[in-house]
Every structure is written in structure tokens, then in C-alpha cells.
Copies of this chain bind each other. A is one copy, B any other.
């Protein structure tokens, strides 16, 4: 092999923050922290905290020194149980900068799963937000690997004995730090999938993967983040690197806004307006709530001023078409679906329209806009049938979605069994069922296990859900398959109606019949006030199947 004459220059996370400090020292990072309690609800009210990349850099250097002093070594796992804030951002940079692994724990998991993953990851140090401090005794009792706990934010009555305060932890440290040598393939971070079955499975991100993922995210065909942007990631920082925003934004000096525990639509809307946010990102349920809030404000004659907001990225679940249309028609706001997984760092696709799509009529353009999008540079996608044969990219053929790339996992951490079930000839098997069209636009049809098998044919629960959520009376809709003696499985619709609206079985099926064959329509509906969600905001189908396992379908 003839080597090039190019420098050996490893792709590492510290490069990003160094650039932010040098080029964008005064650009702000805004956080809403839990402040004084509301006298009525007793819940904390938002307290605004403002800092900038110069200060963040100095504090990250202090934190690096403190971590090294605390005995954190290369490869050690340092856990966070924290919401979105500047301190969590500091951990995003400091932990990998000392060669350790920032393990972002999904704080919405049940305590026993949190205990499981801390023990599985063998976390050595834990950084925890004050609002979760009540969980500390349980964690310390069941997780012997944890040698040190640092609490972020004030705890009424002071921190427990043996536990450190974050500001004390870094206070006396120098603002310069000499980075250790870092191999770009070294682990930099860690997340566990909040899988709906079995124990959570861990993925170790790499410096290389994070740098490439961030670089790709700068492109207009993916996220298009630039130094002119102000970004509010509603997606939590414990949810797959907050889709990469903390790194991507820092690298190009975009202003970052974090609302922490405050994900109430009113506060989100107010913050989008106040901080002149240009880009935001979250799961559909967040945007459904925001849409209501914007509608109400508009009806009251006091609309929010969101002219600067050019993109709302939707991920985590498929994008309900009606929501996308409503945002555009009623509020001139643009929804951009994206797709990814814990196992893919996470961005795999984003739906950025091509010039010729802009010439489509509205209905066709909206159809186009609901697709999951095209693969990012450096990501490869393929769909295959049950025999592993490649399927045509015609927008019709549905197959198992495979993915490949430098920020896609090849295995789960210390879990050969789970690893084996997702490896496929050098690809990662997502477990999703998808179509792809001739322009490479991919559409997630369903999780393989959520497809409904009726009389030898497959029915997509996601398709039915999205169409149901297009009915004016329907706020949320989930569709699951129930066992059926004749057809194997048949669909049941689980519906949350809008306040003051009504709809029945026939009306809903009439609505669906415009688009679906008769045999695809749900055999029955149940109406409820809440659909259980996963910790990352997706419909929890497993819980629904449990809940309705004894439901008797008509004719079954």
C-alpha cells in the first residue's frame, strides 16, 4: 500500500470544544434550571442560566482536572443521570476528553433497570441532577461499582454525606488541562437502548463516530447546523447523545438552549420565541403538545412569534402527516422527519426535500414530507426480505431495514447474545420494516414485531395510526394486533380523543377506508384517556398488548 503524505490527525471530541472556544467564545449556552418552587403546585419554576463557550471551555478544563484527581482513568465509565443543561454539556466534553466514557443514563427507566445498567456498565462515578437525588440511597445500596457521586444543583438541606457538589468538585481546579493521547476508535460515550423486551443493551460510541456524525450533521442534506443557528434540543441528553446536537452545535458555535425538566408546551413555545430559536428537535408527542399550544395562542389573538424557527426535527417515531400539515398550514412551521436509533449514534436519515419536490402540489408534497428521509453521507441502507434478498427500491416493497456506517454499532457491550441477533453480513439489522424509493427516500413502516399478520398478509400498525391521527377528533392513536382464531391476528385501534370531540368505530373506519383496503381496517376500537409511552416518547405497544390481551374482538 502506498501511504498518502497526509498528517495523522485523530478525530477526537476535544477538537470540537477547542474550536468553539477559539472561534465563538461569546456565543451563549442558555439553560432553564429548576428554581424556586411554585407556591401552589410546589413544583420548581424555571430559573434562567446563561453562559458562553469561553466559560464552558474553562469549566470543562476544570472538570477534566477534577476527574483525573478523582482517579478516573482511560476507559472508566462515568455515569450521568441528568436533564438537559450546561452542566450536562460540560460532562459531554470533559468525560471523553480524559479518555473516559460518558454513560448517559435514561432517567425515565424504572429503578430496577437503572440499577441493572449501572451494574452492567460498572460505572465508577455518577453525576446526578439534584431533582433525582432521592434515588441516591437506592442506587448506592445496589450499585457497588460507584465510588463517587457528584450532585448538580443545590439540594435542600445540603448534599448527603460522602456526596459532592458539582461546583465544589471543580472549584479549585486549574482552567488548563493537557489532554491525554486519544485513539479515535476509543469509546467516548455510552447509552443503553430502552428496548421494549429484555434487559437494556449497551452501545459504546467512539470519538471517531461522534466527530463524523457531527460533521455530517453540518450538511444541509442532514441537519444543516451552522454558526448562524440557535438550537433548542427538546430531545433529552440521555437519549442517544441528544441526536448529536451538543457536539454539533458546539463545533460550529451555534447557540444552544436547554430547557431541562421544563418540557411543558407553554415553556417550550415561550423559549423558542424568547431565544429566537432557529432549529429544534424532539419526538412527535412533544410537537403534538406544542401544536395545541400554538393553536390556542393564535385563537386567543396572541400568537407566538416564531419567524426565526426554520426547522423542527422529528424523530423517535414516525411523523403523523396531519401534524406536519397543521404546523405548515396554521403556523408556517416546517417539520423535518429524521430516523435513527441508539445503535446509530443516532442519525441515519433526514427528510430534506429536493428542488423538484417543491414544485409538487400540496398533497403530494406532504406525502413526500412524511417519509423518513434519505441516508446521511457515510450511512448505507438496504432492505431485504426474509431470505436476505435485496428488495427493489420502488417505494412499495417492504423489507427488513439494514444499516451500515462508521457511527453504526457492530455489537452490544458485553452482550454476545443480543449482538448475534442484530448482526447480518456486516450490516446492523434494525428490526424495522421499511420501504425505499428510487430517490433513496426510506420510510419506516413498522417495527418488525409490531406488524400485524392477518391471513398471511401484513398490516402496518404505523400506517393505520398516522391515518387515524389525521381524523379531526383523534388526538393519539395506537394500533396493535390481537390474536384471532381465523386470521392469526387482527388490528385493534386504541384511541385518545381530543377534548370535546367524539368518534365511533364506523366513523373511524370510514375515514380509514379512503386509503386502506377493507381487510386492513381495525376490527374494533377502544377509547382511552392515555396511551402508555416508552421512556423516549414512543407508544409502548408491549404494554398495550398486555393491557388488551383479553379484549374480545367482534367475530373472534
B226 touches A221 (CB 8 A): yes
Contacts of A202 in B (CB 8 A): 5
Q: Does A412 contact B (CB under 8 A)?
A: yes
A4 touches B205 (CB 8 A): yes
Q: Which chain A residues numbered 397 to 419 have a C-beta less than 8 Å away from chain B? A: 404-413
B23 touches A183 (CB 8 A): no
Q: Does A185 contact B (CB under 8 A)?
A: yes
Q: How far is the CA of A214 from the CA of B187 in the complex (A)?
A: 25
Q: Which chain A residues numbered 34 to 90 have a C-beta less than 8 Å away from chain B? A: 74-75
Residue from B227, B428, B438 within 8 A of A221 (CB atoms): B227
B9 touches A406 (CB 8 A): yes
B375 touches A19 (CB 8 A): yes
Chain A, residues 214-245, CB within 8 Å of chain B (1/0): the string is 11101111001011100000000000000000
Nearest opposing residue in chain B for A15, CB measure: B378
Q: How far is the CA of A160 from the CA of B216 in the complex (A)?
A: 47
Contacts of A101 in B (CB 8 A): 2
Q: Does A355 contact B (CB under 8 A)?
A: yes
Q: Does A541 contact B (CB under 8 A)?
A: no
Extra contacts, 10 of them, besides A9-B404, A221-B226 (Cβ < 8 A), are: A2-B186, A5-B203, A6-B206, A6-B209, A7-B426, A9-B406, A9-B408, A211-B378, A216-B218, A228-B354
Q: Does A252 contact B (CB under 8 A)?
A: yes
B6 touches A439 (CB 8 A): no
Residue from B1, B208, B251 within 8 A of A74 (CB atoms): B1
Nearest opposing residue in chain B for A428, CB measure: B7
Tell me the smallest distance from the CB of A93 to a CB of chain B, in Å: 15
Contacts of A9 in B (CB 8 A): 378, 404-406, 408
A408 touches B7 (CB 8 A): yes
A215 touches B209 (CB 8 A): no
Contacts of A183 in B (CB 8 A): 1
Tell me the smallest distance from the CB of A194 to a CB of chain B, in Å: 17
Q: Does A3 contact B (CB under 8 A)?
A: yes
Q: How far is the CA of A227 from the CA of B202 in the complex (A)?
A: 35
Residue from B204, B215, B226 within 8 A of A6 (CB atoms): B204
Contacts of A2 in B (CB 8 A): 74-75, 101, 186-187, 204
Chain A, residues 246-258, CB within 8 Å of chain B (1/0): the string is 0000011000000
Residue from B16, B186, B252, B426 within 8 A of A1 (CB atoms): B186
Q: Does A374 contact B (CB under 8 A)?
A: yes
Contacts of A404 in B (CB 8 A): 7, 9
Chain A, residues 457-482, CB within 8 Å of chain B (1/0): the string is 00000000000000000000000000
Q: Does A289 contact B (CB under 8 A)?
A: no
Contacts of A374 in B (CB 8 A): 23
Residue from B22, B204, B405 within 8 A of A3 (CB atoms): B204
Q: How far is the CA of A25 from the CA of B354 in the complex (A)?
A: 13
Q: How far is the CA of A292 from the CA of B311 in the complex (A)?
A: 40
Residue from B4, B99, B204, B215 within 8 A of A185 (CB atoms): B4
Q: Does A431 contact B (CB under 8 A)?
A: no
Q: Does A395 contact B (CB under 8 A)?
A: no
A407 touches B6 (CB 8 A): yes
Tell me the smallest distance from the CB of A482 to a CB of chain B, in Å: 37
Tell me the smallest distance from the CB of A527 to a CB of chain B, in Å: 43
Tell me the smallest distance from the CB of A412 to a CB of chain B, in Å: 7
B228 touches A7 (CB 8 A): no
Q: Does A483 contact B (CB under 8 A)?
A: no
B440 touches A3 (CB 8 A): no
B406 touches A23 (CB 8 A): no
From known contacts A220-B224, A377-B19, infer whether A205 and B6 are also in contact, taking CB-CB under 8 Å. Answer: yes
Q: Does A212 contact B (CB under 8 A)?
A: yes
Tell me the smallest distance from the CB of A140 to a CB of chain B, in Å: 24
From known contacts A412-B5, A439-B23, infer whether A221 and B218 are also in contact, taking CB-CB under 8 Å. Answer: yes
Of A5, A204, A212, A378, most B-chain CB atoms within 10 Å? A5
Report 17 cross-chain contacts, Cβ distance below 8 Å, ordered by A residue: A3-B204, A4-B204, A4-B205, A4-B208, A4-B209, A5-B409, A5-B413, A6-B204, A7-B404, A15-B378, A19-B375, A19-B377, A214-B377, A218-B221, A221-B252, A224-B226, A227-B352
Contacts of A251 in B (CB 8 A): 377
Q: How far is the CA of A409 from the CA of B211 in the complex (A)?
A: 21
Q: Does A188 contact B (CB under 8 A)?
A: yes
Contacts of A22 in B (CB 8 A): 393, 440
Q: How far is the CA of A374 from the CA of B212 in the complex (A)?
A: 20
Q: Does A11 contact B (CB under 8 A)?
A: yes
From known contacts A187-B3, A218-B221, infer whether A378 and B11 are also in contact, taking CB-CB under 8 Å. Answer: yes
Contacts of A4 in B (CB 8 A): 185-188, 204-209
Of A6, A8, A101, A186, most B-chain CB atoms within 10 Å? A6
B221 touches A219 (CB 8 A): no
Contacts of A24 in B (CB 8 A): 439
